[in-house]
């Protein structure tokens, strides 16, 4: 028990995380593979395997830096799937001068304003809404921070 809830553990592989599979939604042991590939040459530059509890966004910068150290080359552009689409990831890549080609996460069905219309400015650590209002960061949450704006603004 970590968070007050009981955690299911795989008896044959206690290091694995238990996750539901996409096909029949049954719990099964799972790991995540984080791979850095040279797209031009099709060569794997770095691989890390973690439990399913580690979020992709926590690994991307660390893996890119490991690949740069092992090859001695700099990275100018990164492509990744939507699992890496967090403001924290975009900000970390921007601070390192790396272009990110990462699609936005799927939006909630009832979102009044599409999230893709908001723009994050890593240099000033602000979020701009479609009407030009500036949202500032507040308390940290699991995958980043909340940004807020007063209705009077």
**Cα–Cα distance, 18 to 52 (Å, whole number):** 7
Q: Whole-model pTM above 0.75? A: no
**Cα–Cα distance, 17 to 88 (Å, whole number):** 24
Confirm if 81 and 98 have CB atoms less than 8 A apart.
Answer: no
- The residue ranking higher by pLDDT, 116 or 3, is 116
Confirm if 15 and 28 have CB atoms less than 8 A apart.
Answer: no
pLDDT digits (tens, 9 = 90+) for 119-152: 888 888 888 888 888 888 877 766 666 666 665 5
Structure tokens, 137: 């960061």
* pLDDT score of 145: 67
Cβ count within 10 A of residue 84: 21
pLDDT digits (tens, 9 = 90+) for 34-55: 899 998 889 999 999 988 778 7
pLDDT bin (cut points 50, 70, 90) of residue 109 is low
Sequence-distant (6+) residues with CB within 8 A of 38 are 45
CA 12 to chain centre: 30
């Amino acid at each position: 028990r970590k968070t007050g809830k009981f955690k299911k553990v795989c008896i044959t592989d206690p290091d694995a995380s238990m996750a539901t599979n996409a096909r029949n939604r049954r719990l099964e042991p799972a790991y995540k593979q984080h791979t850095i590939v040279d797209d031009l040459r099709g060569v794997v530059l770095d691989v890390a395997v973690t439990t399913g509890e580690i979020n992709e966004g926590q690994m991307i910068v660390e893996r890119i830096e490991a690949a740069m150290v092992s090859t001695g080359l700099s990275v100018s552009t990164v492509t990744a799937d939507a699992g890496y689409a967090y403001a924290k990831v975009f900000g970390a890549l921007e601070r390192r001068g790396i272009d990110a080609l990462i699609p936005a996460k799927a939006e909630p069905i009832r979102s009044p304003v599409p999230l893709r219309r908001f723009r994050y400015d890593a240099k000033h650590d602000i979020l701009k809404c479609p009407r030009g209002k500036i949202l500032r960061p507040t308390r940290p949450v699991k995958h980043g921070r909340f940004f807020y704006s007063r209705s009077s603004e």
